[in-house]
Structure 1
Amino acid sequence: MFEPILDTLAGQPLFMMVGLLLLMMAIKVPIAVAMGMASIAYLLVTGANLRLVAQTTISNLNSFTLLAIPFFVLAGELMNASGVSERLIGLAQVFVGHVRGGLAHVNVVTSTLMAGMSGSAAADAAMTSRVLNPVMVKRGYSPEYAAAVTAASATIGPIIPPSIPMVLVGVVNELSVGRLFFGGVVPGLLMTGGMMVLIWLQAKRHGFEASPRATFAQIVTATRRAILPMFAPVIILGGMMGGLFTPTEAAVVAVVYMGGLGAFAYRTIGWAALNAALLNTVSITARIMFIVAMAGLFGWVLTAEQVVNRMGDFLGANIGSGAMLLLWLNVLFLLLGCLLNLVTLVILLSPVVFPLVYSFGIDPIHFGVVMVLNLMIGQLTPPVGLMSFVVLGVTGVDLAAFIRQVWPFMVVLVAVLMLITYVPGLVLFVPDLLMGPRLD
């Protein structure tokens, strides 16, 4: 009965797979499940051995460096459970709260400070939404504006090291994760500065008030309360720079340090809080790793069908310069970032774009940071924007109202993206300074 259908599909297995994927996405099947089912359907139609499913997915996850992901996620969970986030908010408040639009500036600076301790933007966004957004609303900021600031500033987290997306880019493309980490320092600070300038301009137009200037005693108190957390990025990045530990080992150090602060220094983490942090870490890590596994299987099929090679040949034949290649890739990532999550895009597109990047003489570390920043902008855009839906889930803000407030921040982020795309030194200066110039 089904033989004619199977014979037809066997003649066009790739189109069948893509059509099935699009159909499942249209009915809102989770993207990882959709990629896995479409890939398995391809293997069934072509008569391939289903052992490939186990072999491919396991090989994609068999990486020591990927161990950094659960540890950085756990470090972020422990940071929030220990009360470190509130201490960082207090530190930001005394230094920038008196600027017009003060609480919005505090939001951005807090995200920047937390970025140096946690590789998880979602954890940072969730905590800031719970702690700072209600205060902003009480001070006269609209709920949707407060949500927009929180979501936009959370994109800084994976740019300033440590960074889970940088780990993925490094693993998939066999790049130095340490160089990628340090390459994000200047772009992250540019994002912070750009958003603060925008907030200052908006504050003048909308009449946002500033908090009273902190006294010297308040500055000393806030600094003293935050001094131990501020040692975290010094230990993590200093240890990596000094060759004391790898990025994966740095993630373990971050967990031990944050856990120690919460359990012994501040006594805010008990067994219940630790259990909740571990459960959240398992849940988040499982989702990330499942996406990595299924995207890897889907990518294997694309490679077997020579889609990757064809796309690379087409782009290489029709693009005449590295500058034009970077422009087209940025446009491609910005568009796809609206539809697919960051992990999926990193795994699927890396085999296509990085050979082109090498062929045009573009530094892969430079492009890796550009790629992560570009895809983080996609985290603000529906229907897949993780930052948006984390913040909207906590605050209950209407999506349409949120989009009206967040688009100016996206313009700023795209401007920073274009700047680091065409001024590679902004990315490469710090890793070259701290780790020496690349020899290849």
Structure 2
Amino acid sequence: MITNILLLTLVVFAMLVVMIVIKVPISFALGIATLGGVVLVSNLPLMVIAQRMFVGLDSFTLLAIPLFMLTGQIMAMGGVTRDLMNLSMVFVGWMRGGLAYVNIVASMIFAGITGTASSDTASLGGILIPTMIERKFDKDFTVAVTATSSTIGIMIPPSIPMVLYAIASGTSIGQLFLGGVVPGIIVGFGLMSVSAVISKKRNYPAEKRYPFKESVKICVRSLPALGTVVIIIGGIISGFFTPTEAAGVACFYTTMLGLFYYKELKVKQIPNLIYQGAMTVGLVALMIASASALGWFFTSQGVPRAIANGLMAATQSKVIILLLINAVLLFVGCWMDLAPAVTLFTPILLPVAVAVGVDPVHFGIIMVVNLAIGLFTPPVGVCLFISCGIAKIAITDVLKAFIPFFLVMMIILMLITFVPQISLFLPSLLMRN
């Protein structure tokens, strides 16, 4: 039985890999792999594929995703992004290589509002990359800082991949959001430590230190923008909002900020923002639906149980099993978009992790950090491609600059993997019930 399951798994995954290699869109590749698997298992009707795709999207919580995306777009258009960068400039811009620190700190703040990495790269990178290049920062370093710091966007809440993981695993979204705070901050400080060493070595410039009165003025002006973070995180943790409700309120709040506080967002721009968001969400939804169908197929055939039993029979070492899971997720992150990766591999790998005593919240953070690293690694690194496009530099010219950042991220990943309290401290403290 296990041999048949493993053979079926290998055949279906081989189909998926072939589809990806020949550049079939990922949503269609997942659908074709599901179809192939259902055909191979003769007792399943084909109509089950459409049914499972529908079920995969039949979730109120999923509505948070388009609302968080729209919030990020409104922020970028409404002038909020600029204020967040000015706030970061007050606190860290005066240090050597200050713009690199600003890039990272702004990403950490921006992460608390949008929940995505690509919007972080596009919004902050669109402003900071040209500025850093103008201030004589090397292009490869500028791209590396921007792409790697953008990944914090899916660690610090709200996080769209965490929403997807919560739906796939039945884990509390509030606990996941809290679990990502400390790892996200650690990643931020890790990236800043790399930037500090490189900035000193290359003698990158510091920015001017703002006078005290101007610093206070910038901080006060930024308070309404930071209110979005309070609405999202505070509302969810306190139980006042569900994640979807928090996303809706945050979307409305940032719209009001853009229209009446910053006065840079125009009413006539809103329909176009909604249209652009709908186009993006349509693509993401199709990927989620296809991945959900394939994940259900594997679960129905007992693949997670077979993998767990096989690994437990081969080794009882929790360390080895977690290292293998990390290796799988790192590889997947290099080749697959976040949404389908989380939706597909959560039902497959979570039972294995739980079998060796890993808390589901802790495993969710491990998965997100692994896939975050994939966002700046070829061949599908979205943040890498966006940053290179803004800087107008070839990917092959920047890969060397990523090495120190990659190494630090790997060290942090190992810490998060083998020190569970990094992820579980805040959830256990603030959401004991």
TM-score norm. by structure 1 comes to 0.92
Structure 2 match to 1:260: 256
The alpha-carbon distance between structure 1 residues 18 and 156, as it changes in their structure 2 partners (threshold 3 A), is: closer
Could you tell me which residue of structure 2 aligns to residue 221 of structure 1? Answer: 217
Query: 2:29 matched to 1:26?
Result: no
Unaligned segments of structure 2, at least 5 residues: 1-6
Query: 1:22 corresponds to which letter in structure 2?
Result: V
Which position in structure 2 is the counterpart of 1:155?
Answer: 151
Question: What residue number does 2:344 align with?
Answer: 348
Distance 1:403 1:121 in 2: 19
Q: 2:328 aligns with which of 314, 329, 332?
A: 332
Partner of 1:417 in structure 2?
413
Q: Percent identity?
A: 38
Letter in 2 for 1:79: M
Residue 244 of structure 1: SS of its match in structure 2? coil
Q: CA RMSD in A?
A: 1.8
1:327-406 matched pairs, under 5 angstroms: 327-406=323-402
* Shift in Å, 1:231: 1.5
Tell me which amino acid in the other structure corresponds to 1:83.
G
**Alignment equivalent of 1:86, drawn from 82, 88, 110:** 82
Structure 1: how far apart are the matches of 2:174 and 2:149?
23
> What's the CA shift string for 1:170-225, capped at 9, x where partnerless?
11000000000011111111011111111111011111111122211221221122
Q: Which amino acid aligns with 2:151?
A: T
CA distance in 2, matches of 1:38, 1:144: 38
Of 61, 67, 71, the residue aligned with 2:63 is 67
CA distance in 2, matches of 1:241, 1:325: 32
Q: Which amino acid aligns with 2:103?
A: N
Structure 1 CA distance for aligned equivalents of residues 309 and 342 of structure 2: 19
Q: 1:196 aligns with which of 188, 192, 198?
A: 192
TM-superposition CA deviations, 1:332-351 (whole Å, max 9, x none): 21122212222222222222
CA shift digits 1:366-396 (9 cap, x unpaired): 1111111111111111111121122223332
- 1:5 corresponding residue in structure 2: none
Residue pair 2:74, 2:255 contacting (<8 A) in 1 also: yes
For residue 30 of structure 2, what is the aligned residue in structure 1?
A: 35
- Indicate if the aligned counterparts of 2:259 and 2:267 stay in contact, CA closer than 8 A: no
Q: Deviations over 1:282-305 (max 9, x none)?
A: 122112211111112222333344
Assess if the C-alpha contact under 8 Å between 1:14 and 1:305 holds in 2.
no
CA deviations 1:51-70 (Å, max 9, x no partner) are 11221100111111111111
Instruction: Tell me whether 1:133 sits opposite 2:125 in the alignment.
Output: no
Single out whichever of 245-254 and 346-355 deviates more from structure 2: 346-355
Give secondary structure in 2 for the equivalent of 1:132.
Answer: helix
1:426 paired residue number: 422
Matches of 2:246 and 2:252 in 1, distance apart?
10
Shift of 1:71: 0.8
2: distance between equivalents of 1:329 and 1:42?
23
Aligned length: 426
The SS at the match of 2:357 is: coil
Give per-residue Cα distances to partners, 1:148-184, cap 9 Å, x unaligned. 1111000111111111011011110000000000111
Deviation at 1:88, TM superposition (A): 0.6
Counterpart residue number, 1:246: 242
In the alignment, is the contact (CA less than 8 A) between 2:304 and 2:349 conserved in 1?
Answer: no
Distance 2:252 2:113 in 1: 12
Distance in 1 (alpha carbons) for counterparts of 2:315 and 2:253: 48
Deviation at 1:408, TM superposition (A): 1.3
User: For residue 4 of structure 2, what is the aligned residue in structure 1?
Assistant: none
The alpha-carbon distance between structure 1 residues 242 and 22, as it changes in their structure 2 partners (threshold 3 A), is closer
Distance 1:397 1:185 in 2: 33
Report how far residue 15 of structure 1 moved. Answer: 6.1
Aligned pair 1:55/2:51, yes or no?
yes
Q: Which residue is 1:298 aligned to?
A: 294
Report what 1:171 is aligned to.
167
TM-score scaled by length of structure 2: 0.94
SS of 1:281's partner is helix
**1:267 Cα deviation after fit:** 1.7
